[in-house]
Amino acid sequence: MDPYTRWPGDSYQTPYNPHVYIPPSYYNHPYYAQPAGWQTFFDRTRSSKYPHLNPALAVDMTHVRYDLRKPPSSGILFSTYQQVCHTAALDSVTTEFRVISKAFPWTIDIKVPGTSIVTCGAIWDAMYAMLQEPIADSEWGLVIHDKARKEAIEKAAKARQDASKDGDKKLKRIDWLGDTTLFKGLEKDEDFEKKRLLPGTPAYSETWVVKFGKP
């Protein structure tokens, strides 16, 4: 298996609430998961709004904007992906990281062993893996009451299916985003975070909101 283009199919765990992504074992190697800090590569600059977040992820700083319809290893410029994907997401040791969004209804929980840390690549891979999941019957049952959302999903699905020509007619969660599939970075929104937390679900101190735009 090429670790830069694929990951084990069981890395994305079920059940779906909350979604838990466990990065494959190659993230646990010390070379890939450098503890506490971003080394000299990110010493030159930090986000003014989120100085503890890797600038490759910060919404006000990142130049890593890619189409989430593609795997990160191919959607991001190869040299940038190679340079950034194994760097720490935060400047402190972090083994749990949660991603939510105002654009979709799912929660993405990323967990790594205590001897490792959450990397940028783990976050990108987790988002891609979650968005490749089929839309569930119960989710579609809610969508049919929102005509605009339903039409946007069906249009996005048709465009994706026509482009891939793989014969797969299933609706996927990436289609939920319609034409706003561009990763624009992570930001903090504590009010939304509190509202979004399912009662009875443990809160993550590192909960970030992902923003999307049009490619």
Helices assigned H by DSSP within the chain:
72-75, 78-84, 120-131, 137-143, 147-164, 173-176, 190-196
- The model carries a pTM of 0.83
User: What does the mean pLDDT of the chain come to?
Assistant: 84
Q: Is 149 exposed, middle or buried (0-12, 13-18, 19+ CB in 10 A)?
A: middle
Q: Residue 165's pLDDT band (boundaries 50, 70, 90)?
A: confident
What is the per-residue pLDDT across 127-138, written as a single tens digit (0 to 9) for each? 999 999 999 999
8 A C-beta contact, residue 71 and residue 128: yes
In angstroms, the CA 88 to CA 34 distance is: 6
What is the per-residue pLDDT across 114-124, written as a single tens digit (0 to 9) for each? 778 899 999 99
What is the per-residue pLDDT across 27-80, written as a single tens digit (0 to 9) for each? 554 434 444 444 444 555 788 899 999 999 999 999 999 999 999 999 999 999
Segments making up each domain of the chain, as ranges = 9-133+180-213
